[in-house]
Structure 1
Amino acid sequence: MELDRDHIHQLMNEKVMGVISETDEQHLQNALKEYPELQAELDKLELEYTSWLDQPAIKQINSEAAFALIEDELIRRKQLRKKRWITYSALSVAATVVLLIFFVYPLFINQSGRSSSVPKLTFNRTLQLQLSNGEIIDLSTKQNSITLNSGTQLNNTNKALTYTINGNTASEEQVNNLWIPPGMDYHIKLSDGTLVFLNSATSLKFPFNFTGNTREITVDGEAYLQVAKDPNRPFILHTRNGSVHVLGTTFNVNTYDSGTVRVSLVDGAVSFESADKKTILRPGQAITYIETEGATVSALNENELLWIRGRYKLDNIPMKEITKVLPRWYGVQVVIDNQEIAEKRFTGTILKSEPIQEFLDAIKLTTGAESYYKNGVLHIH
């Protein structure tokens, strides 16, 4: 077969990141058999990806000793746990130790006179795809192959969505809306081969097929993209406060904070365009655009990319910042009643694997803050 190196390189990226489809996997294997020299390129790519995941800023928390202490304590707690709602024993570690915080589903403090019921969620908890015609598909319940009325075939497996469009819709560019609920992350492969990794509480507007001279999508939340190269059709990512223009690159975009956009460039080149200015980034740079202040370029902080591995790094931030993070990662409204607590600083890492109670215990350990639920709202004081 004729070798399309750009396409094969894209398939290699998908393979090492674990999101390649069965059809593309077979195509890649056929190419490797016909062109054995490609195996060295694949091996190199796998090594680079593994090395990236093993970087200290990504793999480790602040200290191996702290990690070991807290991990041992979590194992001990699991062995003692006889039922889901329990009171956890205190963790005897100095207040300066780094926190290791996990997530599965919320477990709640049961205090006298205070609600211990499941809090009222502030987000839609369903992973769903709203088609351009208004039809809503619940991807939380519909797994594997899904055939749409248009004939388009969806494949919803392993927290990833791929699709094959039929001849009737191949010439159409109608916008769909994909919503990722709190506590989840999800991948999608667009029709041009671009990979989009979506963080919690994020929406993506995209067409099943790019038909014009540009490839345009819209992100509200946070996404990490590996854009397929196509010099003839620039890729444009729209946000509420500006747009990112690329030809082929890897970058992260965060629009969680109202009036703010942050773009972090891993590889390639992008330009960020606001209403009054265009800024070109180089690999390893990030730009923060604040609607009332303009744009600032800085070095990329690798902690920003940890969410791809299901982590959120809190690095010496005021407690009040968790009122932004927890609604996205746990789907619950958070209020800090005590201003002194709100200004206290701490460092930690949230993982999407165990209860919110672990986080509340760790906050109490390091700041002395108590917490309780009332009318579906988590109060910290």
Structure 2
Amino acid sequence: MIEYTPEDYEFALRILHHREDLTEEEVLRWMDEPEHLELLREIAFVRMSQYEENREEIILGKRRLNRALHATRRLWVIGTVAASILIILGGLFQIGMIGERLHGFTEVAAITPGSNKAQLILSDGEIVDLHAAVRRLPLSVTGIIRNDSLEGLKYSENVGMKEDYNVLQTPVGGFYHLELSDGTRVWLNACSELRYPVSFVGKERRVELKGEAYFQVSRDSLRPFYVQTSRQNIRVLGTSFNVRSYPADREYTTLESGRVSIHCLGQDCLLKPGEQLRLSDTSIIIVPVRAENYIGWKNQCWVYDNCMLQEVFRDLERW
């Protein structure tokens, strides 16, 4: 099986999304390597049936590409393959499912590090940009929220307050850390959103997640902690775990320590440390994993073990 380097993935991604920034000479020189052609062909052929709008152009490109790959004159092959793949990629516009997996561990060291940046939407609708140059919060929340350059947002416990909600959103290439009013710590990955109360009121603690986050939940036996995603309702007491819930992706919940109960697809599932629940539209799978592989992103370390190539590209797009 061909083993691709992080640089291969990065260049293929540039061809896919930023072709105008590359010269024809750069593209053809890169495609002179047979394994690079194979990589692009894999990307180009994924999930054809899901792109009906440009189906005719995709089919045309596929036919030309197959003819080119079986030709005998190398220079003509490269030129024709390049044109054919660009037609296919132009029709696809994005990466889909790829059958071949990455075996073994591949650290994507070529990912450009993200930075601490996010938007905080207060309960009154006011939007506060959070990044390296902006650390001051509105006077209306002084004493309730503190923003620290290293620790991120920290909410104070205000017993008896009404349950106002804040929303924290991270952009492409952004991440942020916050501590909720009960002491629970949350790391929010890129392209994600967390909705949570300024102060937890009542007999439960509940937050809503879109995207990916790592949680270290403060133990409170009288008030269970819930994480709600589009397809999961996760109940915890005192636990460390990671939740990945991006649109169009399978959902993953990975338990590092403690215990969680997950309600999804009409079923209740219990996870033990070192287990991961994988959820699609129609199925639930629980598998043993190395939890550290799935939480390293919070320290800007990505490790891929026997994962879909599609997932690598999607992570690259977010960072």
What residue number does 2:273 align with? 283
Evaluate the alpha carbon distance shift between residue 98 and residue 267 of structure 1 in structure 2; reply closer, same or farther with a 3 A threshold.
closer
- 1:182 maps to 2:172: yes
Change (3 A) 1:299 1:247: same
- Are the structure 2 counterparts of residues 211 and 141 from structure 1 closer, same or farther at C-alpha, using a change threshold of 3 Å? same
Q: Does 1:171 find its partner at 2:161?
A: yes
Question: Do residues 131 (structure 1) and 122 (structure 2) align?
Answer: yes
Alpha carbons of structure 1 residues 325 and 173: separation in structure 2 relative to 1, 3 Å: same
Deviation sequence 1:30-86 (CA, Å, 0-9, x none): xxxxxxxxxxxxxxxxxxxxxxxxxxxxxxxx9xxx99xx9xxxxxxxxxxxxxx9x
Give the superposition deviation at 1:267: 0.7
- Alpha-carbon distance in structure 1 between the residues aligned to 2:132 and 2:106: 37
Q: Is residue 285–residue 300 contact of structure 1 (8 Å, CA) maintained in 2?
A: yes
Measure how far apart 1:136 and its partner are: 0.4
TM-superposition CA deviations, 1:252-277 (whole Å, max 9, x none): 11112536321111111100012411
Once the two structures are superposed, what CA deviation does each residue of 1:183-242 show, in whole Å capped at 9, x if it has no partner?
A: 222210000000011111111101110011100001111111110010110000000001
SS of alignment partner, residue 185 of structure 1: strand
TM-score by length of 2: 0.61
Which residue in 1 is equivalent to 2:287?
298
SS of the residue 2:208 aligns to: strand
Q: How far 1:156 moved relative to its partner?
A: 3.4
- Preserved CA contact (<8 Å) 2:253 2:276: yes
Report if aligned partners of 2:117, 2:131 keep a CA contact under 8 Å in 1: yes
Mean alpha-carbon deviation: is it higher for 196-205 or for 256-265? 256-265
Q: CA deviation at 1:297?
A: 0.8
Quote the Cα distance in structure 1 between the aligned partners of 2:312 and 2:254.
Answer: 22
* Mapped partners of 1:275, 1:137: distance in 2: 37
Give the match's secondary structure for 1:307: helix
Distance in 2 (CA, whole Å) between partners of 1:233 and 1:305 is 25
State the distance in 1 between where 2:185 and 2:117 align. Answer: 22
Seen in structure 2, the aligned counterparts of structure 1 residues 153 and 308 have a Cα distance that, compared at 3 Å, is closer
For 1:304 and 1:318, how far apart are their aligned partners in 2?
A: 14
* Number of the residue aligned with 1:251: 241
Matched residue of 1:210: which SS? coil
**Letter paired with 2:137:** I
Give distance in 2, aligned partners of 1:265 and 1:229: 15
Identity %, equivalent residues: 31
> Which residue does 2:208 correspond to in 1?
218
Task: Structure 2: state its 5+ residue gaps.
Answer: 8-21, 36-102
| Contact 1:147 1:153 (C-alpha < 8 Å) held by counterparts | no
Q: Report the Cα offset of residue 143 of structure 1.
A: 3.8
**What residue identity is the alignment partner of 2:236?**
V
Mapped to 1, the partners of 2:222 and 2:113 lie a distance apart of 46
For 2:310 and 2:251, locate their aligned partners in 1 and report how far apart those are by CA, in whole Å: 20
Letter in 2 for 1:290: S
Residue in 2 aligned with 1:101? 109
Ranked by relative contact order (alpha carbons within 8 Å, sequence separation 6 or more), the top structure is: 1
Deviation at 1:163, TM superposition (A): 2.9
TM-superposed deviation, 1:99: 6.3
Q: State the distance in 2 between where 1:175 and 1:183 align.
A: 25
1:271-298 Cα shifts (integer Å, max 9, x gaps): 00124110111111111121222x1111
Cα 1:201/1:159, change in 2 over 3 Å: farther
Of 226, 242, 246 in structure 2, the residue corresponding to residue 236 of structure 1 is 226
Cα distance in structure 2, aligned partners of 1:289 and 1:105: 29
The answer to whether the aligner puts 1:161 opposite 2:153 as a matched pair is yes
1:146 corresponds in structure 2 to: 137
Distance 2:238 2:110 in 1: 35
Deviation, 1:162, is: 1.1
For the residues of structure 1 that align with 2:301 and 2:113, how far apart are their CA atoms? 15
Structure 1 pair 105–308 and aligned structure 2 pair: CA distance change class (3 A): closer
* In structure 1, distance between residues paired with 2:273 and 2:241: 9
Secondary structure in structure 1 of the residue aligned to 2:221: coil
Contact 1:147–1:154 (CA under 8 A) maintained in structure 2: no
Separation in structure 2 between the aligned mates of residue 307 and residue 316 of structure 1, nearest angstrom = 17
For residues 216 and 105 of structure 1, do their structure 2 counterparts lie closer, same or farther at Cα, with a shift above 3 Å needed?
closer
State how far apart, in whole Å, the 2-side matches of 1:279 and 1:131 are. Answer: 34
Question: Number of matched residues?
Answer: 226
Structure 1 consecutive aligned stretches of length 4 or more whose deviation exceeds 6 Å: none
Q: Structure 1 residues 190 and 142 mapped into 2: Cα distance closer, same or farther (>3 Å)?
A: farther
Q: CA deviation at 1:98?
A: 5.7
User: Residues 100 and 171 from structure 1, CA distance in 2 versus in 1: closer, same or farther, beyond 3 angstroms?
Assistant: closer
